[in-house]
Amino acid sequence: MSITLIWTKAAGETYTELKSEAEETLKARSAKGKTKSSKKEGLFKQVHKTVNLLRANPKHPGLQTHEYTSIENPYDKKQKVFEAYAQNKTPGAYRVFWCYGPGKNEITIIAITPHP
C-alpha cells in the first residue's frame, strides 16, 4: 500500500525548521572535525524516521500509535486523530500528530511537537 503524506502548514514548517537546524549543526560540526552528532541532528533523524514509518505502515509497533483526543480532525470532527512517538523516555519527547485523509491512502501530518 502506497500512502501519500499531506502536511498542514504548521507541521510542514516545523519539519523544515528541524531539518535546517540539523543541517546547520552538521555543517558546523564537520567544519570543526567533530564526529559526534548534535541533539538537533538526532532529533531530526528521529522525526524523519517516524514520518517514513508512518508512510510505510501507520500501524508499525515502533510508532506506538494511539488515539489522541485533544486535537480535532481537520477534515471531519467525528474522525480520530492519532499520536505517534518520535522519541520516548526523553523530557519533552517529540510526537507526530496525524489523521487519515482527506482521500483514500492519504495521511495528514497535523503537528510535530514536544510532548506537553
Q: What span, in angstroms and rounded, lies between the C-alpha atoms of 68 and 81? A: 6
What's the confidence (pLDDT) of residue 30?
82
pLDDT, position 31: 85
Class of domain 4-114: alpha beta
Per-residue cell: 105: 491512502
Task: Write down the pLDDT at residue 37.
Answer: 81
Output the pLDDT for position 78: 92
Q: Say what the pLDDT of residue 116 is.
A: 67
**Distance of alpha carbon 78 from its chain centroid, rounded?**
23
pLDDT at 28: 87
Residue 65, C-alpha cell as written in the block: 500509535
| Per-residue pLDDT, 1 | 62
Distance CA(90)–CA(5), nearest Å, equals 27
**What cell numbers appear for 115 in the block?**
510532548
Report the pLDDT value the prediction gives residue 26, as an integer from 0 to 100.
87
Instruction: Provide block-wise average pLDDT over 10 residues at a time, the chain (116 residues).
Output: 90 96 89 83 94 93 93 92 92 94 93 88
